[in-house]
């Protein structure tokens, strides 16, 4: 089949996806996303049980919003990979899909594989009679096994296959969940390298994302954006997929991410690093979850603290996250590193927290490490914490920074680290790991994520 899309090799212009008879490898190697627009005006589709806090920086423009909504199911269970689940839900919601995150457990709150606590929109039982345009399974262990053992989810997904509607799985889920259900027959499939030997050798492929008829599979957390964008193209078409890719700040695969460092100093510690990630209503969930996941994989002690009156926060695209503590409970604590996630509304709420302001001021005066991503570097500037420091931020807010570096995705200046946000969050987190522990550990974490470790 001849590809007509520079984004992924799935043609949606002439043929419905259910008519595909060939196996297609889905890649982002030819992406050439432009910088996202600085002003957007459209609204995200509402989820079934939560209204996202719309971010004027990262909300989709009219192209995506004008597309008729599609219904998507993203099931989660204990041990689900949080990056995969959250990136899937976030990206698909940006495209205009009506995404239901459904728990296969007997409770809505689910602790993911890296310790992040997520709250589902509904129980899987409430979805049994629904018709979905896409069922997308995140991976993780034992999350994939928990999905496999859910009879209701098996019936939903089997019906999806029988009726030739889209379904997908990432990481361990193709091998651990779909294979035992018999839903990989005559399908070429990829999955996490640790599970690829479970796939019959004549069907297993090592592409980062693979489309085979109605089935799309992918390798792991580090390929989650590619996986999600591939699904967006199949649901909404290439123009929407390209627009969402631009909003996510995705770069061509062959364009090595840019990291710049000024006034280099060592960050190594003689103890396990203690890291604080404050969150608020409107924080950007991709950044929050990526930071937590990557840093905990690196054996860092991460504390997630809510600046709200409740530990539960509603992130910018509708994901519900439960913090470990309230910020008031840690007002006298000392952290080696404090990192602010972005999201316009979330950053503003972080800025208003008196306790966090006090902690940041003490962090800077004591010469400890701190940083911010996306729109939050502007918070640091408002608080007078980045004077005469080189920084970067989301393209829509970088002009507000006195010494902003436009052509870098991650900027380190002494003990300050900043990043553009969204799809650069993994690189940002790995840069922190590199500074704390060195390249060897960062590369090892990247391999587990199935993420290409930056050369620079």
- Residue partners of 334: CB distance under 8 A and separation at least 6: 274, 362, 368
Pairing state of beta strands 166-170 and 215-218? parallel
Pairing of strands 274-279, 301-306: parallel
End-to-end Cα, the chain, rounded Å: 37
Whether 287 is catalytic: yes
H or E, element range at 103: strand 98-103
SS in 3 state form for 359-410? HHHHHHHCCCEEEEECCCHHHHHHCCCCCCCCECCCCCCHHHCCCECCCCCE
Please write down the HEC assignment for all residues of 408-452: CCEEEECCEEEECCHHHHHHHHHHHHHHHHCHHHHHHHHHHHCCC
Using only C-alpha atoms, the chain has a radius of gyration, in whole angstroms, of 21
Burial of 165 from C-beta contacts in 10 A (0-12 / 13-18 / 19+): middle
Choosing from 84, 105, 150, 394, the catalytic residue is 394
Q: In sequence order, what E strands does 121-263 have?
A: 122-123, 134-137, 166-170, 209-212, 215-218, 259-262
Dist. CA 12–CA 14, nearest whole Å:
6
Give the C-alpha distances (Å, rounded to integers) separating 164 from 131, 188, 213, 271, 362: 12, 16, 9, 54, 58
φ, ψ at 301 (rounded to 5°): -85, 105
Whether 26 is catalytic: no
Among residues 26, 150, 191, 374, the one annotated as catalytic is 374
Q: How far apart are CA 189 and CA 195, in angstroms?
A: 11
The Cα 333–Cα 114 span in angstroms is 23
Task: Return d(Cα 397, Cα 409) in angstroms, integer.
Answer: 14
What does the alpha-carbon distance between residue 5 and residue 237 come to, in Å, rounded to a whole number? 9
Q: What angle do CA 350, 354, 358 make, to 5 degrees?
A: 100
351 is catalytic: no
Options 287, 308, 351, 364, the catalytic residue: 287
Q: Which residues are catalytic?
A: 287, 374, 394
């Amino acid at each position: 089949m001849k590809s007509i899309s520079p984004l992924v090799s799935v043609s949606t212009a002439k043929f419905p996806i259910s008519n595909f008879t060939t196996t297609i490898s889905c890649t982002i190697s030819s992406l050439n996303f432009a910088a996202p627009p600085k002003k957007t005006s459209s609204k995200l589709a509402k989820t079934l049980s939560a209204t996202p806090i719309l971010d004027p920086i990262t909300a989709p423009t009219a192209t995506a919003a004008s597309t008729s909504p599609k219904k998507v199911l993203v099931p989660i269970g204990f041990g689900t990979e949080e990056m995969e689940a959250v990136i899937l839900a976030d990206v698909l919601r940006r495209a205009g899909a009506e995404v239901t995150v459904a728990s296969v457990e007997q409770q809505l709150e689910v602790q993911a594989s890296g310790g992040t606590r997520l709250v589902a929109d509904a129980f899987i039982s409430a979805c049994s009679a629904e018709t979905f345009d896409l069922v997308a399974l995140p991976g993780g262990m034992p999350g994939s096994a928990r999905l496999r053992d859910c009879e209701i989810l098996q019936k939903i997904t089997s019906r999806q296959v029988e009726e030739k509607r889209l379904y997908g799985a990432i990481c361990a889920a193709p091998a651990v969940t779909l294979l035992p259900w018999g839903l990989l027959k005559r399908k070429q499939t990829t999955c996490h390298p640790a599970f690829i030997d479970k796939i019959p050798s004549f069907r297993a492929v090592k592409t980062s994302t693979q489309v085979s008829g109605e089935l799309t599979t992918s390798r792991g957390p580090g390929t989650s954006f590619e996986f999600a964008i591939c699904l967006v193209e199949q649901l909404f078409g290439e123009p929407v997929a390209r627009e969402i890719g631009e909003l996510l700040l995705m770069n061509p695969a062959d364009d090595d991410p840019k990291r710049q460092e000024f006034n280099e100093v060592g960050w190594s510690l003689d103890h396990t690093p203690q890291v604080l990630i404050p969150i608020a209503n409107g924080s950007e969930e991709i950044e929050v979850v990526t930071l937590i996941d990557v840093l905990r994989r690196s054996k860092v002690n991460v504390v997630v603290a809510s600046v709200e009156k409740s530990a539960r926060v509603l992130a910018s695209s509708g994901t519900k996250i439960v913090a470990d503590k309230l910020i008031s409970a840690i007002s006298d604590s000392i952290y080696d590193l404090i990192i602010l996630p972005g999201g316009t509304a979330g950053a503003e709420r972080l800025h208003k927290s008196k306790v966090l302001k006090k902690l940041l001021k003490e962090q800077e005066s004591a010469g400890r490490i701190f940083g911010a991503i996306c729109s939050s570097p502007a918070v640091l500037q408002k608080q007078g914490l980045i004077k005469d420091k080189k920084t970067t931020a989301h393209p829509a807010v970088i002009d507000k920074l006195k010494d902003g570096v436009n052509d870098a995705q991650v900027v380190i200046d002494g003990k300050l680290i900043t990043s553009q946000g969204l799809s650069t969050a993994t690189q940002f987190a790995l840069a922190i790991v590199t500074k704390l522990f060195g390249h060897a550990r960062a590369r090892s974490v990247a391999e587990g994520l199935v993420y290409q470790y930056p050369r620079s």
